[in-house]
Amino acid sequence: MLLHLLFGLSVAVGLSAAERGLLFDFPLSQTPTRLNIRVDLELVDFAQNRAASYRPSYDNFLSLFSWSEVEDCMNKRDHFSVVIPGAAGYTGDIPIHFVHHRSMNVSAIPLLLLHGWSSTHLEWDKIIDPLAQFFHLITPDLPGYGFSPAATESGMDARTMGAAYDVLMKELGYGTYGVVGTDVGYFVSSWMMSDVPDSIIGHFLDFMLVPPTQDDIDRCSGNQTTPEENAYLGSFIAFESDHFVYSAVQAQKALVLSLSMGDSPVGFAGWLWDLRYAGSALHPTFTLWVQAPYGAVRSYLETLIPKSGGVDFPSYKVPTGLVEWGNQHGPFPELASFPLAPKRCLPDS
């Protein structure tokens, strides 16, 4: 399907939403509008045919589940679309898809949950019902991910996303709220702490990259580090040396990578599988592939370039909690302590 491949290029050449030809339902309105998730069946057939012709054969790509059943399952949630008319100096419209699950608890706290790569709003689906006892849940797709249409001009970095989400929360009637961030969502939420601090009552992370400092390396060389620090330094170096290439490619050659992935759902699944190492179910992968990968992949380029601020977050005073899980049971023993930074290494916000 040439349209699907060209959609990946639409970000670069600045086509309008109509010209991009979205292959899923998305009402374009500046007021939150209810929608059902419906993907063009032609795209589903295209993906299945591409998978069937893949070498070696992978013709069971979509036969392992029914996409219509996946859509029906997703549509049990309340999905909405909204178009934010620019934010944080970004002059283009910012269309956002999100799930809004209101709690029955009159004292519930609004909670914005921000996923990362390689995921979508489905990252949070299994915890919505338990959390709804205490929170109103808002789980958007990042721009270019899932069903949030990709940006049509450059500048859609983490700070711009955060500004747009703050506008969204205000549009929903939430003057203050909590934020959860992971992976790319960690970059977004961390910038929100300094850009819109008066909006945020609490910040929770399950991901934080803390690169070793020169002092850490010097102390390690002088046998002055603890066993915990040694384990972390070894795991961080192993990850950066042998498992971090995806980030460099996505940050430097987003378009080149996406041109091949947009035409091959199996190739795209393989790219994600290498990172997740067999932890990837097919329907989340397909959800991320629906609008061609470039919009999502480009988020690395936009977020990590120096002019966007990257990971150089200013200090902030918003109460923040962090939990990290490590990879003790993963397939690579050298990553067992990644990203378990010792407490003394964490930034003092």
Q: Which DSSP symbol is given to 335?
A: G
Backbone angles phi, psi at 253, to 5 degrees: -130, 50
- Based on its alpha-carbon atoms, the radius of gyration of the chain, rounded to whole angstroms, reads 20
First-residue to last-residue Cα distance in the chain = 49
Structural contact between residues 275 and 118, judged by C-beta atoms closer than 8 angstroms: yes
Q: What is the pLDDT along the chain (349 residues), one digit of tens a residue?
A: 544 544 444 443 344 444 557 999 999 899 999 999 999 999 988 888 888 888 776 656 556 668 889 999 999 999 999 999 988 889 999 999 999 999 999 999 999 999 999 899 999 999 999 999 999 999 999 999 999 999 988 999 999 999 999 999 999 999 999 999 999 999 999 999 999 999 999 999 998 888 888 888 899 889 999 999 999 999 999 998 988 888 899 999 999 999 988 888 888 988 888 877 633 344 578 899 998 899 999 999 998 887 777 778 899 999 999 998 888 888 888 888 988 888 877 776 4
CA triplet 150, 294, 15: central angle to 5 degrees? 50
Query: What's the rounded Cα separation, in Å, for the pair 116 and 119?
Result: 6
Predicted TM-score of the model (pTM)? 0.90
Task: Provide the b/e sequence for 226-236 (b: ≥16 CB within 10 Å).
Answer: eeebebbbbbb
Cross-strand pairs, 204: 180, 321
List domains and CATH numbers for the chain: 2-208+244-318 (3.40.50.1820)
23 backbone φψ class: left, alpha, beta (φ>0; ψ -120 to 50): alpha
